Amino acid sequence: MILIIDGYNLLKHIDPHHDISEHERTVFLHQLKRYARRKKHKIVLVFDGGPYQWPHKELVNGIKVIYSGERDTADTVIMRYIADHKTQDLLLISSDHELNLFASKYDIASIGSDDFYPLFKQGIQEYPEEVEEIEVSIDEGDLDLDALMEQASEMVPCKQEDITPSDVHLRTGRSSKKDRLLLKKLKKL
C-alpha cells in the first residue's frame, strides 16, 4: 500500500504549538522509514514550499518526499498524485476536508492525521533487541489429562461478552463498500 501523507498537516497535529524545525522533520523522516520498513508500505510525503519555485522530488531513506514549490500547494500536489495513481492501492493521511473529499471521488480511502498518529506511534515502538529465552519443561505423565482438556475446550459455548461488534454487524447488515475498504486499509496500518 502507498501512504500519501500531507506532511505539515500531520506534523501540526503532533505538536500544534510551534513551527516545525528542520531537525524535527529529519527525525520524523527517520521514524517514517522505520514504520514503512516494518509495515512494508511505500510512503509519499508531501510538504508545502521547498527549496525551489517548482515542485521538487527527492528520495530520503526510501521515502519519496515531494515539496510543492512556491507556485503550488501541498494540496494541489497531493490531488495531482491521487489522480495520476488512482489505480494503485493508496491511503491518504490528512485532516484536510477538501483533500478527503477529492480522494473519495476516486474511491481512495483517507484517514485523519489525528487518527493515524496513534497507529503510527504503535507501529514504530521499539522492541527489545534481545529475546530472553525461557526454559519450559513438559511433564509427559499427564498426556491423558491434556487430551481430555483439549477436547473439552472445543465444546465451550460462546458467551455474550465474546461476541465482537463486527460479529453483531454481520448479522444486522453489510457495511458500505467505502467502509469495508477503509477497514481493510486500517488493518494494514
Gap between the Cα atoms of 159 and 136, Å rounded: 32
Per-residue confidence (pLDDT) for residue 181, from 0 to 100: 79
Quick one: which of 93, 84, 95 has its CA closest to 57? 84
* Domain 2-126 CATH class label: alpha beta
Per-residue confidence (pLDDT) for residue 111, from 0 to 100: 94
Give a three-class secondary structure readout of 41-87: CEEEEEECECCCCCCEEEEECCEEEEECECCCCHHHHHHHHHHHCCC
Say if CB 43 and CB 6 are below 8 A apart.
no
Gap between the Cα atoms of 37 and 124, Å rounded: 10
Q: What is the pTM of this model?
A: 0.69
Per-residue confidence (pLDDT) for residue 6, from 0 to 100: 95
For helices 7-14 and 74-84, the axis angle rounded to 10 degrees is 120
pLDDT 10s per residue in the chain (189 long)? 999 999 999 998 887 777 778 888 888 899 999 999 889 999 999 999 887 888 889 998 899 999 998 889 999 999 999 999 999 999 999 999 999 999 999 999 999 999 999 999 888 885 433 344 444 444 555 666 666 666 665 665 655 544 445 544 444 567 777 777 777 887 777
- Residue 167: helix, strand or coil by DSSP? helix
For the record, the C-alpha cell of 90 comes out as 493508496
Per-residue confidence (pLDDT) for residue 61, from 0 to 100: 86
